């Protein structure tokens, strides 16, 4: 008997939304190497348990392997995002470059690219957040630098300067913006496709950070900021503010 999906959706709205989200979800190309290895490890653990283990211990090992596979598929997911019309039509809009929680909105002195007083917005990404990163603004890349460093927990204020990171400076039509991919305690690899001279569109994918991390967006002091500490943002969709 063929199932009526419309009736299923009316009766199980939350399950339907989850199912539709899963169907449109893909793995990010930035994580194929790690994902394949982790899935293979999980499958091997399940196979060994199935062949050699018995009783509750076998089920425990199988659950471990399944957990590794499920976490891998979840962590390296790359869901579709809808770039706001405002960001497409207005180059002054600042979009969230990553999913996560706002942990800092603070004045800083930026000496790498802006060379001036500025406002720093910091986003903390937990291991459960989407880790694909996007450009927060539209413009030309005028500065790029990779910096090896420490592995402090990503929410630590000093991680912005001391941790391993990529710094990307973009010249927009309204001023300069610097954003950083910063590793955390668990994150040990940054993927960044950006190089000097590239043109970026607001919301465009630029790379990812693997296993928990942080992103800083540093904008001119004249910018209007729409978010506050504690806000949860969605990469490529949440508008952080506007460059004036």
Q: Are residues 121 and 190 in the same domain?
A: yes
Q: What digits encode the pLDDT tens for the residues 126-137?
A: 888 998 999 999
Q: What digits encode the pLDDT tens for the residues 43-65?
A: 999 998 888 878 888 899 999 99
Residues in the chain predicted with pLDDT less than 70, given as ranges, are: 1-25, 149-162, 184-188, 212
Final residue of a structural domain among 78, 102, 134: 78
pTM: 0.79
Q: Are residues 55 and 158 in the same domain?
A: no
Cβ neighbours of residue 154 under 8 Å, at least 6 residues apart?
Answer: 124, 125, 163, 182, 183, 184, 185, 187, 212, 213, 214
Q: Are residues 114 and 150 in the same domain?
A: yes
Which domain covers residue 44, as residue numbers? Answer: 5-78
Final residue of a structural domain among 27, 61, 78: 78
Q: What digits encode the pLDDT tens for the residues 155-177?
A: 565 666 667 889 999 999 999 99
Q: Are residues 58 and 172 in the same domain?
A: no
The CATH number of whichever domain residue 224 belongs to comes to 2.70.70
- Residue 180's pLDDT is 95
Domain count, the chain: 2
Catalytic residue numbers read 213
Final residue of a structural domain among 51, 78, 105: 78
Q: Are residues 164 and 58 in the same domain?
A: no
Q: Are residues 97 and 67 in the same domain?
A: no
- Residue 160's pLDDT is 66
Q: Are residues 185 and 218 in the same domain?
A: yes
Q: Are residues 161 and 232 in the same domain?
A: yes
Q: Are residues 52 and 128 in the same domain?
A: no
């Amino acid at each position: 008997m063929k199932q009526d999906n419309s009736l299923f959706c009316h009766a199980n709205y939350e399950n339907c939304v989850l199912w539709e989200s899963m169907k449109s979800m893909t793995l990010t190309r930035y994580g194929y190497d790690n994902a394949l290895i982790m899935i293979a490890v999980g499958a091997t653990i399940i196979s060994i348990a199935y062949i050699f283990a018995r009783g509750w211990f076998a089920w425990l090992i199988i659950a471990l392997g399944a957990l590794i596979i499920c976490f891998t598929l979840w962590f390296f997911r790359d869901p579709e995002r809808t770039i706001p019309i405002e960001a497409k039509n207005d180059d002054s809009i600042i979009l969230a470059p990553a999913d996560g929680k706002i942990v800092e909105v603070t004045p800083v002195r930026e000496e790498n690219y802006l060379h001036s007083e500025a406002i720093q917005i910091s986003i903390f990404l937990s291991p459960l957040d989407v880790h694909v990163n996007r450009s927060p603004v539209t413009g030309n890349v005028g500065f790029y630098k990779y910096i090896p460093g420490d592995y402090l927990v990503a929410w630590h204020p000093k991680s912005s300067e001391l941790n391993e990171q990529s710094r990307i400076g973009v010249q927009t039509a309204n001023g300069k913006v610097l954003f950083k991919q910063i590793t955390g305690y668990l994150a040990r690899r940054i993927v960044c496709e950006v190089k000097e001279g590239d043109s970026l569109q607001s919301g465009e994918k630029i790379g990812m950070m693997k296993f928990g991390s942080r992103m800083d967006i540093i904008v001119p002091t004249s910018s209007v900021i729409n978010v506050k500490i504690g806000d949860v943002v969605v990469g490529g969709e949440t508008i952080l503010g506007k460059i004036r």
